[in-house]
Amino acid sequence: MSKLAVDRKYWEPHIELMRRRELEELQLKRLRFILRYVYERSPFYRRKFNELYVKPDDLKKLEDIRKFPFTTKEDLRNYSYPYGGDFLCVPREELICWHMTSGTTGRPTIGPYTFKDYETWMNIMARCLVTVGVRKGDILLNLYGYGLFTGGLGFHQSSHLVGASVIPWGVGRTEALINLMRDFQPTVMTGTPSYQLYILEQMQKQGIEPRKELKLRITIPGAEMWTEETRRRIEDGYGLKEKDGGARNVYGATEMLGPGAGIECEYEQGFHFWTDHIFLEVIDPETLSPVEPGEQGEMVITTMTKEAMPLIRYRTRDITVLDTSGCECGREAFPRCRWIIGRVDDVIHYKGAKIWPSMIHETLLRFPEVLEYQIIVDKSPAGGRFTVRVELDKKRDSTAKREQIIAELRKALIFVTPHVEFVPEGTLPRYEGKARRIIIKEG
Ligand SMILES: [Zn+2]
């Protein structure tokens, strides 16, 4: 009998309910193992460790991980292509699949799997699904892309483990998708938050009332920056709370096996990070020293259970705030990460100021009248301009509202006075996959 999640609250209670001390012992054991493993097998890490004169045995306690070198995205670009390159710890013949990033900015980042990696990943993903509340009998509409992107397959295959039925839709053909949603009545939906909101908007245009006409209970938005305001819109729009569900954040990346490194429980207070598989540090991206829980910093991960291509102290470029105060769901040893505030690379540099797009996002979405927005940063030497284009619901548009939005944006941005442009309803682009709301003109 397989362990179908009929009434499970936990997928692996012996792990998820561990005390912090127990978890730390497990981490120490796994870190020691993986440091030795990469040192013996990966030419990249052998070289790196030797350069710093560190040996796997130098790790006596968890903090000793700081003696070991960081791995950067640049390293992956330079040394992991094509099959896994100098990072690979197994013969190529042991690999069963690769995923990779789109590679729009250069060589793609490679995520190779052995059979064991695949099993590990599916198990972590099953844990994620049970944590958000997916059970046997659920119909999961999977709106993450299939193909080289890890999202589609990650959710697809793990659904079988918990006994849910999956509809492998992928991305696009929204009109047909809406028909299918009414006919099949999925109870769980994945996909980018932008796409979940776009579907909602299309339904409302067609006079469909998702709250009444759909059985959707849980959505699992991810793969792009989103905020508490986005959550509120998705939960209200689909009526998720009324059905005892919600919109729950998932985190992951090709470098960490795929989605599933962390996920939110029913308390929706940030995603639990599965630190039995991935060791997590949060550092100041400039000084590289650790920051305290509650402070903003860059996530640095060490994969402890990957076989084909483990990563040691990989700098994700993702900025978060860690909460180690425990959680009512019982997974108290697993820290929670508050929203990913953005990628280090997402920060907009404009006239000496640093601007997080997530701040603009959060400010604007607080206004229910705002349907969509776009940020245009013109850095031309002739003067330049920081423009925020805002699309308002025409039924709720007013001069007072516009003034209020401008004032709030100015308050949020402090060092930059944005030029705010209001555009008619329906003019700004919508997104069926990842949103691209920022346009930078380099001048
Ligand atoms: Zn929890």
Q: How far is the CA of 417 from the centre of ligand 1 (A)?
A: 39
Q: How far is the CA of 194 from the centre of ligand 1 (A)?
A: 25
Q: How far is the CA of 129 from the centre of ligand 1 (A)?
A: 13
Q: How far is the CA of 435 from the centre of ligand 1 (A)?
A: 28
Q: How far is the CA of 85 from the centre of ligand 1 (A)?
A: 38
- Across 405-416, average pLDDT: 92
Q: What percent of the chain has pLDDT over 90?
A: 87
Over the chain, what is the mean pLDDT? Answer: 94
Q: How far is the CA of 326 from the centre of ligand 1 (A)?
A: 8
Q: What percent of the chain has pLDDT over 70?
A: 98
Structure tokens at 133: 């509340």
* Amino acid sitting at position 417: T
Chain segment 79-95, per-residue pLDDT in tens? 999 999 999 999 999 99
Q: How far is the CA of 331 from the centre of ligand 1 (A)?
A: 6
Q: How far is the CA of 47 from the centre of ligand 1 (A)?
A: 40
Label residue 48 by pLDDT band (50, 70, 90). very high
Q: How far is the CA of 333 from the centre of ligand 1 (A)?
A: 10
Rounded CA separation 153/173 (Å) = 19
Q: How far is the CA of 155 from the centre of ligand 1 (A)?
A: 20
Q: How far is the CA of 347 from the centre of ligand 1 (A)?
A: 30
Helix axes 43-51, 20-41, angle to 10 degrees: 100
- Determine contact, residues 184/354, Cβ cutoff 8 Å: no
Q: How far is the CA of 234 from the centre of ligand 1 (A)?
A: 20
Rounded CA separation 422/374 (Å) = 10
Q: How far is the CA of 211 from the centre of ligand 1 (A)?
A: 26
Q: Which domains can be identified in the chain, with CATH numbers?
A: 1-344 (3.40.50.12780), 347-441 (3.30.300.30)
The answer on pLDDT for 4 being more than 80 is: no
Q: What is the pLDDT of residue 6?
A: 53
Q: How far is the CA of 108 from the centre of ligand 1 (A)?
A: 34
Whether omega for the bond prior to residue 82 falls within 30 degrees of 0, making it cis, is yes
The answer on pLDDT for 374 being more than 90 is: yes
pTM: 0.93
The residue among 108 and 281 whose pLDDT is bigger is: 281
Q: How far is the CA of 123 from the centre of ligand 1 (A)?
A: 18
Q: How far is the CA of 89 from the centre of ligand 1 (A)?
A: 34
Q: How far is the CA of 10 from the centre of ligand 1 (A)?
A: 11
Rounded CA separation 302/64 (Å) = 13
Q: How far is the CA of 266 from the centre of ligand 1 (A)?
A: 7
Distances (CA, A) of 429 to 249, 390, 418, 426: 24, 12, 20, 8
Q: How far is the CA of 142 from the centre of ligand 1 (A)?
A: 24
Q: How far is the CA of 346 from the centre of ligand 1 (A)?
A: 28
Rounded CA separation 134/6 (Å) = 9
Q: How far is the CA of 175 from the centre of ligand 1 (A)?
A: 36
Chain segment 56-114, per-residue pLDDT in tens? 999 999 999 999 999 999 999 999 999 999 999 999 999 999 999 887 767 899 999 99
Q: How far is CA 103 from the centre of its chain?
A: 18
- Across 264-271, average pLDDT: 97
Q: How far is the CA of 264 from the centre of ligand 1 (A)?
A: 7
Q: How far is the CA of 267 from the centre of ligand 1 (A)?
A: 6
Chain segment 334-355, per-residue pLDDT in tens? 999 998 888 888 889 998 888 9
Q: How far is the CA of 280 from the centre of ligand 1 (A)?
A: 17
* Amino acid sitting at position 409: L
Query: How crowded is residue 39: how many other Cβ atoms within 10 Å of its Cβ?
Result: 19
Structure tokens at 82: 């094509």
Please choose, from the candidates 118, 117, 98, 120, the residue with its C-alpha nearest in 3D space to the C-alpha of residue 109: 98
Chain segment 5-17, per-residue pLDDT in tens? 556 899 999 999 9
Q: How far is the CA of 37 from the centre of ligand 1 (A)?
A: 32
Q: How far is the CA of 34 from the centre of ligand 1 (A)?
A: 28
